[in-house]
Structure 1
Amino acid sequence: MLFEKVPGLYGSGVIPARFEDFKLAIKNLMMEQFFTSENIDRFLNKEMSSGINIDLEPVLEKVDFNPAFDSLVEVIENSQFGGMLAMLGGSEALQPMKQPFVEKMQQAVIDISQSDSVKQALIEQLESPAMLDEVKGNVEAIIDQRLSELTPKLVKEIVQKMIKEHLGWLVVWGGVFGGVIGVISSLVM
């Protein structure tokens, strides 16, 4: 009755008839009851205080540090040492040092990323109001995207599946008690 319009039965087919209101109600339920700023903040605080280890090494190992070497060479060429570098063969003379520099730079940045001050700065950034707003906005966008994919037919299938999986015995017992009450009331009359 919620999904199919039954002629002459007021209120039947309410979900397809008011589907946009239904989707808005789902979104409001999710955002106002589950994904409030306070709940997101509490979750992030719990995760951060539980000793989460922010390890940036796998990310930094994928970063290309060659531009750092190129920038260093450019700075040297444009400095007072540029003339001396030109006498020694120019920037080409520094090329054999490129790979060792890149490796050392990468290791230095990894070491810096593992310092307590950087980890604390990351935690503060993750717990900032701007980050909370961004997380809330992302959750809202996910909910909006999924709701836009919903159709009355899909909602009907979801509800039927939920009833079948979780409320089957309730339906059986409701039928049994309804039958017993019906028999008793017909005998009393």
Structure 2
Amino acid sequence: MNKSVITNTLALILTLAGHFLSQPILFSIGLFALSGAVTNWLAIHMLFEKVPGLYGSGVIPARFEDFKLGIRQLMMEQFFTKENIDRFLSDDKGGATGIDLAPVIKKVDLNPAFDGLVEVIENSSFGGMLAMVGGSEALQPMREPFIEKMKISVVEITQTDDFHQNLRESLEGDTNIAHMQEKVSDIIEQRLNELTPQLVKEIIQTMIRKHLGWLVVWGGVFGGIIGFIAAITGTM
């Protein structure tokens, strides 16, 4: 059940009960509790909705662009800094040494590499001998074994410590890190541009509505305490 509705309803019941039962203390407690709860409820409502005549209401939708800029700055200045990217690349568990290139290599088309090898042989001193045994067509049965062996060899090379070290040193250069930051910034910017003021409002409401509801509850509680103190002070 909505905590705000329950708090306001209880405060209203106390106020009405105190009025109709001619109980000044009960009336004061209820009235102060109602004023505290309603004030806090209105303040929370004004964060998300524009209330006519109340300056500053609807601040979250109204400052939508500022929220987007703030999110982008938070991501770039706190998470994707040069130091954090450099630390990630240097981390053996998540950086360059943790990259498995085997799936990529297996999808690479190495037919041009074989064609280049055949061309080199044809243009070399072995070209004449190759022509005598059928030319480049005589090498075609070697195509698939060559490609398979090349992929295995390349995968083995990418799994060596020397390759990982060279890759890491290359990726850790300031120019590469700056380029990575630009790409990350572009991705974040693109995703943020897909957001609308209504969507941002719903996201923030979902995250904090549960906790903001307690502001109404405590507003009613402290309002009731103040009302009790005011009532007994006035009757003494």
TM-score after normalising by structure 2: 0.68
Amino acid at match of 1:179: G
1:104 match: 149
Report % sequence identity.
60
Say if 2:157 and 2:163, in contact at 8 Å, map to a contact too: yes
Moved over 4 A (4+): 47-52
* Count of matched residue pairs: 188
Q: 1:105 & 1:51 partners in 2: Cα distance?
A: 22
Change (3 A) 1:100 1:29: closer
Q: Which runs of 5+ in 1 are unaligned?
A: none
Structure with larger Rg: 2
The Cα shift of 1:77 comes to: 1.0
**2:170 matched to 1:170?**
no
Q: Does the CA-based 8 Å contact 1:48-1:123 persist in structure 2?
A: no
Structure 1 residue 40: deviation in Å? 2.6
Instruction: Report the residue type matching 2:207 in the other structure.
Output: M
1:120 Cα offset (Å):
0.9
Are residue 158 (structure 1) and residue 203 (structure 2) matched?
yes
Matches of 1:131 and 1:56, distance apart in 2: 19
Question: Contact conserved, 2:48 with 2:57, CA < 8 A, in 1?
Answer: yes
**Given the superposition, is the C-alpha separation of residues 30 and 54 from structure 1 closer, same or farther in structure 2, using an over 3 Å criterion?**
closer
Aligned counterpart, 1:126: 171
Gaps of 5+ in 2: 1-45
- Cα distance in 1 for residues equivalent to 2:92 and 2:53: 55
CA distance in 1, matches of 2:91, 2:149: 36
Corresponding letter in the other structure for 2:110? F
Q: Which stretch shifts more, 129-138 or 63-72?
A: 129-138
* Aligned residues of 1:3 and 1:13 also touching (Cα < 8 A): yes
Q: 1:152 to 1:126 in 2, by over 3 A?
A: same
Deviations 1:109-163 (A, max 9, x none): 2222222211111222232223322332232122212221222211211111012
Q: CA deviation at 1:181?
A: 4.4
2:181 — aligned with what? 136
Q: Aligned in 2, Cα 1:175/1:43: closer, same or farther, shift over 3 Å?
A: farther
Q: Residues 110 and 29 (structure 1 numbering): CA distance in 2 closer, same or farther, change over 3 Å? A: closer
| Residues 1:174 and 1:40: Cα distance change in structure 2 (over 3 Å) | farther
> What is residue 158 of structure 2 aligned with on the other side?
113
Q: What is the alpha-carbon distance in structure 1 between the residues aligned to residue 61 and residue 135 of structure 2?
A: 75
**CA separation of 1:47 and 1:163: change in aligned 2, threshold 3 A:** farther
Aligned counterparts of 1:86 and 1:19: Cα–Cα separation in 2: 73
Whether the 8 Å CA contact 1:56–1:113 is kept in 2: the answer is yes
In angstroms, what is the RMSD of aligned CA positions? 2.7
Q: 1:184 to 1:136 in 2, by over 3 A?
A: farther
Distance in 1 (alpha carbons) for counterparts of 2:131 and 2:77 = 66
**SS of aligned partner of 2:107:** coil
Does structure 1 residue 45 correspond to structure 2 residue 90? yes
When the two structures are superposed, what TM-score results if normalisation uses the length of structure 1? 0.82
Greater RCO, CA 8 A, separation 6+ = 2
The structure with the largest helix share of the pair is 2
CA contact (8 A) 1:61 1:106 kept: yes
Residue 34 of structure 1 deviates from its aligned partner by 2.9
